[in-house]
Amino acid sequence: MSDLTQNPYAGAKTKKERQAIYQGLLLRHENDVEEYERKRTIYDGFISIWDKQRKIQLEADNRFHKNILTIAAGSFGVSFAFINQIVPLKSAVHPAVLVLSWLFFGLSIVFAVLEPRVGSVIQDKLLDDIEENIELGYEGRPYKETRRWLLMLPTRILNWLSFILFAMGVVCLIFFVYLNMAAR
């Protein structure tokens, strides 16, 4: 490197020239600070929106999960307790459809119960990655890439499987009742 890149005053011959260079450096620094503050304001605004949206998304996911679990468990329990009053099981046609309905409800409940635990393990992994990236940042090394969407995929799959199995359980239960009402 040349002296000019290391010392901004190297080319100045007089005190006045050095003062002009210093004023230029101050002005550039002030512009850098203004630019930083502008970018920081934009960043803070978007982070605030992101935080609100993330909270809304988590609340929606939580409600979805709880609703599926509650409705699947209720459907299973009600159909198990009262099916004999709707269709006498001793004379029922195609009882395997009813058993299949209960199997779907049971699996839906199992997946709905597993989802929060899987989500917790994934969140632990994401927090570990954040801590590691903070340390890497302090050391000036490149950040480790975290594919959050890929890590969250198992919880999404469990939620959708729970919903699909619940819907299949409802369809099988309705089909069972229909078959037996039509056979009367």
Are 101 and 169 within 8 A, CB to CB? yes
12-70 pLDDT per residue, tens = 677 777 777 666 766 677 777 777 777 777 777 777 777 788 788 778 878 887 888 89
Nearest of 101, 115, 106, 121 to residue 157 by alpha carbon? 115
* CA-to-CA dists, residue 104 to 87, 96, 97, 174, 177, angstroms: 19, 12, 10, 13, 16
Q: In this predicted model, which residue has the larger pLDDT, 90 or 30?
A: 90
Residue 37, Cα to own-chain centre: how many angstroms?
30
pLDDT at 176 over 80: yes
* pLDDT confidence of residue 2: 45
Phi, psi angles (nearest 5°) of residue 74: -65, -45
Section 70-86 average pLDDT: 87
Q: Which residue has the higher pLDDT, 86 or 6?
A: 86
In this prediction, residue 6 carries a pLDDT of 60
Q: Where are the domains of the chain?
A: 3-182
Q: What is the mean pLDDT of residues 135-146?
A: 77
